[in-house]
């Protein structure tokens, strides 16, 4: 059995395309976690040996699991909406950000 410590971390949707760092509270205090580029909502990241010490063996640590959640704004300012539209147009030209499952297999 694994000694896992789950946590949900939220970041703004703007952080999903550039690798952000989020502060994660662990049993030892706050730690900066780099979210890898392209990380999808619902992904679980593992912080090895950052979890709870094992009972009876304090030198053995469990893992800290971080569940990634993306905050999507309910309203956008005019400038933000314009930038989102520009990003969408750029992605359609370069085929970046294609729909998952539509990628070529092979």
What is the rounded average pLDDT for all residues in the chain? 77
From residue 18, alpha-carbon distances to 35, 61, 63 in Å are 9, 31, 26
68 — pLDDT class (breaks 50, 70, 90): confident
Which of residues 91 and 82 earns the better pLDDT score?
A: 82
Q: 6-16: per-residue pLDDT in tens?
A: 555 555 555 45
| Mean pLDDT, residues 38-65 | 90
Query: Residue 23: CB partners within 8 Å, gap ≥ 6?
Result: 30, 31, 32, 33
pLDDT at 57 over 70: yes
Say which CATH superfamily domain 4-94 falls into. Answer: Urease metallochaperone UreE, N-terminal domain (2.60.260.20)
């Amino acid at each position: 059995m694994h000694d896992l410590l789950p946590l949900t971390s939220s970041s703004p949707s703007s952080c999903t395309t550039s690798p952000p760092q989020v502060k994660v509270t662990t049993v030892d205090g706050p730690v900066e976690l780099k979210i890898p580029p392209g990380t999808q909502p619902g992904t679980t990241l593992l912080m090895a040996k950052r979890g709870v010490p094992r009972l009876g063996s304090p030198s053995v640590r469990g893992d800290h699991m971080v569940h990634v959640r993306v905050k999507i704004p309910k309203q956008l300012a005019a400038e933000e909406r314009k930038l989102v539209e520009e990003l969408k147009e750029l992605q359609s030209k370069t085929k970046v950000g294609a729909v998952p499952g539509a990628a070529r297999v092979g």
